[in-house]
Chain A
Amino acid sequence: MAFKLNVNGHTSTVDAPGDMPLLWALRDILDLRGTKYGCGIGQCGACTVHIGGQPQKACITTLEMVKDRPIITLEGLSPDGTHPVQVAWQEIDVAQCGYCQPGQMMSAAALLARNPKPSDKDIDTAMNGNLCRCGTYLRIRAAVHKAAELASSGAPTKSAGAAAAALRNRE
């Protein structure tokens, strides 16, 4: 079946069964491998992407469920690492193995989009669906605060939507 997917501001046609999870369409068909597979049952959050502006687990969201809502993946935050979340993640040196971080960053970006100045408790709640096997939680928490600070200080960074628009313009 053919599905039209709007990913990072770009529309692609994916010919795949409707019950295929978005994760595998992104990774194996659209070649967007920044989104990771960790559990396949929505437990770890490594596959978190934005669907219609909401953080969703791509491993349990089928192509049929996406409908026409726009999708933003890590690659769509910014291709050059300039989104406040990406900048903060680098400044705080968050990652160990780095495998969960795409999902962590997507959850963080979604949190900041709706709550520009989250408290520790807000962060804990928003990020609780993302497991980090290496245990970098303290740095993730610090990086979310840092990203909030960068975004509010008007640093040269972009929102996910703006990043997608920028990508679109480039093409």
Chain B
Amino acid sequence: MKRTQEKSMLERRSFLKISLLAGGGVMIGLTTERQAAAQGRGAPQVTPDPHNFIKVAPDGTVTILAKNPEVGQGVKTMLPMLIADELDVDWKQCQIEQAPFDESKYNMQSAGGSTATPVNFMPMRQVGAAGRALFITAAAQIWKVPESECTTSSGRVMHRGKSLGYGELTAKVAELPAPNLSTLKLKDPSEYKIIGHSQTQIDLHDIVTGKPIFAIDMKLPGMLHASFERCPVLGGRLVNANLEEIKKLPGVKQAFVVKGPDFHGIPTSYPALVDGVAILADNWWQAQQARKALKVQWDEGAAAAGSSTAFAQKAEELSKQPPQRTLRNDGDVDAAFKSAAKVVEAAYSYPFISHAPLEPQGATARFENGKMEIWTNSQQPGSGRRQVAQILGIPQDDVVLHMVRGGGGFGRRLTNDYMIEAAAIAKQAGVPVKLLWSREDDMEHDYYRPGGFQYLKAGLDASGKIVAWQNHFISYGEGENFVASGGVGPFEFPQRFVSNYALHSSVQPLGLRTGALRAPTSNAIAFVMHSFIDELAQAAGKDAVEFRMDLLNQAPAVPAGGSAPPGVNAERMKGVLQLAAEKSGWGKKTYPKGTAVGIGFHFSHQGYFAEVAEVTVTSTGANSHKVKVNKIWIAADVGSQIVNPSAADNICQGGVIDGMSELMNQKITIEKGRVQQTNFHQHGMMRMAQAPPEIEVHYLKTTYGPTGLGEPALPPILPAVANAIFNASGKRVRSLPFSDSGFSWA
């Protein structure tokens, strides 16, 4: 034991601190960071300092720190790959560690919006390149040769047959001044040895051997396991509870009420902490058992009137009334409808759905000597820290976070409600607490993907060209405000591509928390848009790909020197549409009866995706249709470089499987303000036997900067499968999920 301690202290001491003072006003590559901050993410702006990311031990061991939360999107591998390649070390030689949570050193540390690649592609490479430059300078000075004659490879500096390992240069490097980030030479992509080459996930060995690496696996000395009962109606206030009875139950150590902040009526945004009863026991199951005996009197409040049936009725009424707002009104839509050769109208709808990451929500917290320490798998720890400080009245500096691997995110862990609960419970309990939500807690108290209704109308001229487009977008909110992730922007496709374009909206109050689910807004909008576009193609008597190409060709040319208009870049979208058509053999194959292909495309989170699905539909009755997805082709344009192809393919394939689950089986409904679904049997996920045997992923390399693909891969699959089902069966389904219309996976 003693030996081990001495050894680790020695190692710690002897780690090189590359004392690179990267300040001096050099801010290269931080534009996107600043943009992200402007979007309200609120991270401080600092120049990345290699010292915070790279440690080199005298024995040559290189440790690289991964700055962002890992929830399965692969950043703990991808971000260090960027550093390692420019540092010019062998990937196998690197040890990767999760960086501490400290946004003053690491800038925004979050996982959301498919931002990790576009935000970090440049600064992480600069960090690596700065490290490499220091080792070259150190070796050149020792050898008294020009730096320009030195080369590097595999963590060694070379000069005419001489070579020194980075580990041997650590002492010298520590004396050197910082290189100027602005003059650093980055590798040409042809020189990449790690970037663009598949690397397996860094935590894979820990995963396959069952190491306790997830938030749910945290354990602290003296820790109790907590379960937390909330009102089944969002925002219900606790009147009283039979705490004394609960305290007597087996294994129960504490039971108490936690109060959330006050609010009034049905706000568009509820407080992150709601009233509830915390039960703390020796193990979580006993806390859960005790919860069954809990009797709580709630004042359910205004949200208790909420009902999915009533929401749908109200939406129908709103659709017949003048819209509350007009978000966009280009040209003269009314005149265009009057002169159109054909007018097509359709009403689409989609339900609330739950994120349901497989690891349920939870966090571990310890409150000692005025300091709150939290182990969390948050996707947005910074905002959680601010909320913990604010709601619990603890100075922010006294709230310390540790980032722990999350078993899936999908946007659920962008909100920090469960982490704030854990902190609130730990503060009251006086002992360390691990809070774990049951699956039922998770499904009944999510920040749901908002449902919605779209009333579409389009006009075609005699040649089949779309000349008018109108959408009455009906969602939830109040006045000018949509609920979180329940809105639509004025530049939503096909704005600019159709010269007479109107986008109107109306909202009704909700009483349910909503939030970003993988590809927020796009995951619903793409289904509606491309199902409707297929309806229009059919009305025009045109092939679905040809019709879309024509539509993409309708965009007015950008004047020379003019800045790119917001929304879809027509050339990039045409590129992926063409690629998807080519790879799938679109229009070149004949299929047996009941088998067909369908297509959709979508632009979101800076990524361009077109997807083709081939399905076979077997009807065994008027209201019983079995769908087998035979194959999927994905065409993606996410810029010039895929950083980790293995992870990229995996994420794209997972994205379309996720989207197909949304299409077929997922629906959250509300009655009397209560969510009706409790677990996976009522909110189905695609299973292995239902998954397509093949999903091809093709990347179209373009000259644009690399962007993310965790989100944009998802939206097009919904309309692609929906359109394929129509082509195979003649059934046009305009309401999600398809299971409500008699469809199920074969």
In contact, B210 and A89 (Cβ under 8 angstroms): no
1/0 contact string of B240-270 vs chain A (CB within 8 Å): 0000000000100000000000000000000
Q: Say yes or no for A90: interface residue by CB 8 A criterion.
A: yes
Distance of A35 Cα from B658 Cα, bound (Å): 24
Distance of A73 Cα from B407 Cα, bound (Å): 19
1/0 contact string of B682-695 vs chain A (CB within 8 Å): 00011111010111
Task: Tell me how far the C-beta of B629 lies from the nearest C-beta in chain A, rounded to whole angstroms.
Answer: 12
Chain B residues with CB under 8 Å of A21's CB are 285
In contact, A90 and B680 (Cβ under 8 angstroms): no
Q: Say yes or no for A120: interface residue by CB 8 A criterion.
A: yes
1/0 contact string of A129-161 vs chain B (CB within 8 Å): 011111111111100000000000000000000
**Interface size of A in residues (CB-CB distance below 8 Å):** 61
In contact, A97 and B408 (Cβ under 8 angstroms): yes
Distance of A99 Cα from B654 Cα, bound (Å): 14
Chain A residues with CB under 8 Å of B360's CB are 37-38
Contact size range, B = 35 or more
Query: Which residues of A, 62-119, contact B by the 8 Å Cβ criterion?
Result: 73-75, 78-81, 85-86, 89-91, 93, 95-102, 105
Select B211's contact among A34, A36, A43, A131, beta carbons within 8 Å: A34
Chain B residues with CB under 8 Å of A141's CB are 688, 693
In contact, B209 and A81 (Cβ under 8 angstroms): yes
Task: Tell me how far the C-beta of A170 lies from the nearest C-beta in chain B, rounded to whole angstroms.
Answer: 15
Distance of A128 Cα from B440 Cα, bound (Å): 22
Known: A38-B360, A97-B408. A124 touches B689 (CB 8 A): yes
Query: Smallest CB-CB separation from B687: which chain A residue?
Result: A128
Distance of A90 Cα from B204 Cα, bound (Å): 6
Known: A20-B285, A130-B688. A97 touches B359 (CB 8 A): yes
Q: Say yes or no for A39: interface residue by CB 8 A criterion.
A: yes
In contact, A137 and B650 (Cβ under 8 angstroms): no
Q: Say yes or no for B200: interface residue by CB 8 A criterion.
A: yes
In contact, A35 and B210 (Cβ under 8 angstroms): yes
In contact, A138 and B653 (Cβ under 8 angstroms): yes
Distance of A131 Cα from B691 Cα, bound (Å): 11
In contact, B679 and A41 (Cβ under 8 angstroms): yes
In contact, B358 and A100 (Cβ under 8 angstroms): yes
In contact, B283 and A29 (Cβ under 8 angstroms): yes
Task: Tell me how far the C-beta of A23 lies from the nearest C-beta in chain B, rounded to whole angstroms.
Answer: 8
In contact, A81 and B205 (Cβ under 8 angstroms): yes
Query: Smallest CB-CB separation from B659: which chain A residue?
Result: A135
Distance of A139 Cα from B653 Cα, bound (Å): 10
Q: Say yes or no for B71: interface residue by CB 8 A criterion.
A: yes
Task: Tell me how far the C-beta of B141 lies from the nearest C-beta in chain A, rounded to whole angstroms.
Answer: 41
In contact, A135 and B209 (Cβ under 8 angstroms): no
In contact, A97 and B208 (Cβ under 8 angstroms): no
In contact, B439 and A38 (Cβ under 8 angstroms): yes
Chain B residues with CB under 8 Å of A99's CB are 72, 214, 357-359, 407-408
Query: Smallest CB-CB separation from B657: which chain A residue?
Result: A135
Q: Say yes or no for B406: interface residue by CB 8 A criterion.
A: yes
Task: Tell me how far the C-beta of B34 lies from the nearest C-beta in chain A, rounded to whole angstroms.
Answer: 30
Distance of A91 Cα from B409 Cα, bound (Å): 24
Known: A37-B216, A127-B688, A135-B655. A101 touches B650 (CB 8 A): no
Chain A residues with CB under 8 Å of B438's CB are 40
Chain A residues with CB under 8 Å of B204's CB are 89-90, 93, 95, 98
In contact, A93 and B198 (Cβ under 8 angstroms): yes
Task: Tell me how far the C-beta of B10 lies from the nearest C-beta in chain A, rounded to whole angstroms.
Answer: 27
Q: Say yes or no for A162: interface residue by CB 8 A criterion.
A: no
In contact, A96 and B650 (Cβ under 8 angstroms): yes
In contact, B209 and A86 (Cβ under 8 angstroms): yes
Chain A residues with CB under 8 Å of B225's CB are 28
In contact, B688 and A74 (Cβ under 8 angstroms): no
Query: Which residues of B, 513-561, contact A by the 8 Å Cβ criterion?
Result: none
In contact, B439 and A96 (Cβ under 8 angstroms): no
In contact, A28 and B283 (Cβ under 8 angstroms): yes
Chain B residues with CB under 8 Å of A132's CB are 358, 688
Distance of A124 Cα from B681 Cα, bound (Å): 19
Query: Smallest CB-CB separation from B199: which chain A residue?
Result: A93
In contact, B358 and A34 (Cβ under 8 angstroms): no
Distance of A21 Cα from B288 Cα, bound (Å): 12
Q: Say yes or no for A44: interface residue by CB 8 A criterion.
A: yes
Chain A residues with CB under 8 Å of B43's CB are none
Known: A135-B656, A135-B657. A93 touches B210 (CB 8 A): no
Chain B residues with CB under 8 Å of A96's CB are 72-74, 408, 650-651, 654
Chain A residues with CB under 8 Å of B345's CB are none
Q: Say yes or no for A125: interface residue by CB 8 A criterion.
A: yes
Query: Smallest CB-CB separation from B362: which chain A residue?
Result: A37
In contact, A74 and B439 (Cβ under 8 angstroms): no
In contact, B407 and A97 (Cβ under 8 angstroms): yes
Known: A37-B360, A128-B689. A24 touches B210 (CB 8 A): no
In contact, A86 and B208 (Cβ under 8 angstroms): yes
Distance of A90 Cα from B646 Cα, bound (Å): 12
In contact, B208 and A101 (Cβ under 8 angstroms): yes
Q: Say yes or no for A17: interface residue by CB 8 A criterion.
A: yes
Task: Tell me how far the C-beta of B579 lies from the nearest C-beta in chain A, rounded to whole angstroms.
Answer: 20
Known: A24-B285, A44-B680, A134-B72. A79 touches B209 (CB 8 A): yes
A-B residue pairs, 5 tightest by C-beta: A34-B210, A97-B72, A99-B407, A135-B657, A135-B654
Known: A36-B359, A135-B653; 7 extra A-B contacts, CB below 8 A, are: A16-B283, A36-B216, A81-B209, A86-B209, A97-B358, A98-B405, A128-B687
Please list 5 pairs of residues, one from A and one from B, whose beta carbons are closer than 8 Å in the complex, sorted by A's number.
Answer: A16-B283, A21-B285, A93-B200, A133-B658, A134-B658
